[in-house]
Structure 1
């Protein structure tokens, strides 16, 4: 049955209309994002190598009555979730925010977090949870939606998805009046904001496929002013297949969303994982956003290993390859927040650890090979993680002189030429290797003083061979926290106290 909307007075002081959507394939982002491993968000805006290229113009949305040409690959992003998950009978508060935050504080925190999402993984989309306690017109919602405004003002797309609260349980809507009043408030606030997308319900597993399609149609028809290409209809069950909703002509013109996790199935080969994804997607790749998928990121699994015996690795590689092959969108679960089932303080699937206090927040990446697979899914990098490292202040690439493999050889900056002595690979545990993993970038002698030479040495797993990238472009030794620095006089690499000079800033080439 169609539910007529009740009139509502919009919330005041709306943010200005956001800038146009920035396309995924931005040359500068492609150069910088595939290596960044840790994010001091406060520094990101000053010297981030991920400075955006000029925004591409947005194609005007098609009227709701028309089926717009859909391109799900426009979505490449992450979920920002509440600690413990988003199924909360009360305000849903993503990790790093506090229910006591006001609108300005939420915006400032969100801006720091989004800077990290952009600079490390190239995210152009964030998926945020909402519920009946967390929308405009509620005490928390009026503040929380500063996170939406912060994203759209950066040119990021936002997917707003409803999670069960007191108005729903067991995958079903219990209180349709509250459910639709919530969506009325959200659509009134953001129905005309092109970068905001609406996902009526996350994982509607309490309905049969046909009953869920009926409710989704009811939702779509309630909001005729919203273009269908800004609606994302969940697949049936736990979003486990999209063929049924994609095949329902009443939902033509909408995107559809899929969730698949390795824990839901027995161990499978890579090919079996690919076949499962394709079976659940059918011919709907261009309409499908894989807006939940994830795997452990804190235990050193190498997601770049193409012939891995690890089921999680095979699953992630199959997921990201399928996204690319079928032109799908993808939104990883979670970037922050999520379940604490296997770790007491965080979700072991989470991409980032959160650091700092107040609005001075920073992120560090748990597994750089997971980032590699996501940037590949987003269309920002190739299938292999080997790259050059260029210094910003001293022109040229990080180079092993003469192509030698002799231990303790100090590395230098030399004209970029793509040689094997300039091809560096990130590992799941933080090493940066050369010559196909034969040697590691090493703070020679293990010292942590200004002027310590940096060179190559047999990989040994010590902290002086572990490195983290920051969104200010610096590359820092895990052992000392000092920056990888290039002497302007000799072009030789060394450790030095981080001070913000461009001879301490690095980019991928």
Structure 2
């Protein structure tokens, strides 16, 4: 995504946009001769070998940061990431890169994503630019080389001759380097799905010595539709590149909404989210309750789901001068962190640390109504029953005591939910861990099936998660009908799993 220096301008994109799975790829084809469009001034050009280099990578092991050009990666000239200069020699570029890459690794990153374009590779800067790539390779980092369209382009290849010459040069040099990955086209929004997948298939045929597992294919549009690309049998085995920002969908608000948006990806085990980001220089606390801050809710939801689904994550950007989304700032040779809470959330997505979710807080002895976001109906005990085992359902709120609940805190965000009418506890029937198990009321027994973690997801809504099963309180089938049963179900971010808790 073309990240503007002033985030408010990024809203202009809205009008343009309507567990660990090991990938061992051995998709082999006959090897074509590669045409070299240029050689590296560094003297380090490596010919692609006829024997494909296998890429062994679990996508959820990808802990990445983008390193971007402050003047924009969409450029008609050289792309020059922050801290580098196109007048630098190979040795100087490598030295500068080493300093920045050490800072990336200190944040927990093992992957960088940097831009290439036809001008950079087919002209003199490439010989020096490879110093940055080689520095990352020498540190054992994964390197994603992503092709950016030229400035003002229409999301298609502007000059096919230059494009294929560029890739021949890049593959000739790094085709046998197992931790270098090739992203065929960043945000190919000018193509239909059919034309895009044909381009991808041509790339695989032209560079058949490259294992499919080292090729990243952006989803159609602005790297959003990975499902149609992933479904093409010619591309099986390739990794998929997916992008997501707040302005891609203004209808999403809570962290659960953002979780839900990622659950629509059919190929999570092949997908790396190569761009996601939010302001890191505005003082937002990404570990706190979101309130009505969409950026906080977005970061919490996206990082929750990246971790849960096992997708790789490459934050935009790790470093880019003038960009409020930048995780880091470079001043001279000093690299500093802009937002520690943002880093904690990114690291959580990477699976490298545990964090405390923002929990709800309720007044002891007070009563609350609990309203489903999808239906607007209230959680209640059916027919005002005071019998142990009576089911929980939803019903239009009318103020009955069977529709009122108190919260008894157990610590760490856990509560007993006690019905005002019966004084019984909200309980998963039989301490079941099965999908769809009914939720009932029962006398207090201290069981973990009577303990509920209440997570603040922003905008006045909460997820209610059973300690015993780890599943969410859910209105069965997302029904909006009075009397629909309330059950437990694995988290899917649906609005029938989001609850407004309102004091009485």
Say which SS state the counterpart of residue 133 (structure 1) adopts: helix
Match of 1:250 in 2: 234
Q: Could you tell me how far apart the structure 1 residues matched to 2:32 and 2:150 are?
A: 21
Q: What is the rounded CA distance, in whole Å, between the counterparts of 1:77 and 1:330 in structure 2? A: 6
Tell me, in whole angstroms, the C-alpha distance in 1 between the residues paired with 2:297 and 2:32.
45
**Which ranges of 4 or more aligned residues in structure 1 deviate by more than 3 Å?**
2-5, 7-17, 61-64
SS class of match (1:112): helix
Superposition pairs for residues 278-289 of structure 1, below 5 Å? 278-279=263-264, 281-282=265-266, 284-289=267-272
Q: What is the match of residue 139 of structure 1?
A: 124
The aligned counterpart of 1:348 is: 324
Aligned to 2:349: 377
Equivalent of residue 150 in structure 1, options 123, 131, 135: 135
Whether 1:123 aligns to 2:127 is no
- Decide whether the 8 Å contact of 1:258 with 1:291 is kept in 2: yes
Contact 2:42 2:90 in 1 (8 A): no
CA distance in 2, matches of 1:69, 1:242: 21
The correspondence of residues 69-468 of structure 1 with structure 2, limited to 5 A, is: 71-119=58-106, 121-135=107-121, 138-165=123-150, 169-266=153-250, 267-279=252-264, 281-282=265-266, 284-337=267-320, 346-356=322-332, 361-384=333-356
What is the alpha-carbon distance in structure 1 between the residues aligned to residue 182 and residue 75 of structure 2? 19
**Aligned-partner SS, 2:278:** coil
Which deviates more, 8-17 or 377-386? 8-17
Secondary structure in structure 2 of the residue aligned to 1:305: coil
Give the 3-state SS of the residue equivalent to 1:186 in structure 2. helix
Q: Shift of the alpha carbon at 1:129?
A: 0.2
**Structure 1 residue 307 displacement after superposition:** 4.8
5+ unaligned residues in a row in structure 2: which ranges?
1-30, 359-411, 413-504
Once the 2 structures are TM-superposed, how far is the Cα of residue 164 of structure 1 from its aligned partner?
1.1
Shift of 1:265: 1.8
Give me the whole-angstrom Cα distance separating, in 2, the residues matched to 1:100 and 1:71: 37
Aligned residues: CA RMSD: 2.6
How far is the alpha carbon of 1:146 from its aligned partner?
0.3
**Separation of aligned partners in 2, 1:349 and 1:268:** 19
Cα distance, 1:241 vs. partner?
Answer: 2.1
Shift of 1:128: 0.6
Alpha-carbon distance, 1:276 to partner? 1.1
Shift of 1:62: 9.8
Larger Rg: 2
Distance 1:372 1:313 in 2: 13
Kindly state the Cα deviation for residue 7 of structure 1 after the two structures are TM-superposed: 4.6
Q: How many residues in Structure 1 have an aligned counterpart in Structure 2? A: 325
Unaligned runs of 5+ in 1: 18-60, 338-344, 387-435, 437-509
Work out whether residues 62 and 229 of structure 1, in 8 Å CA contact, stay in contact via their aligned partners in 2: no
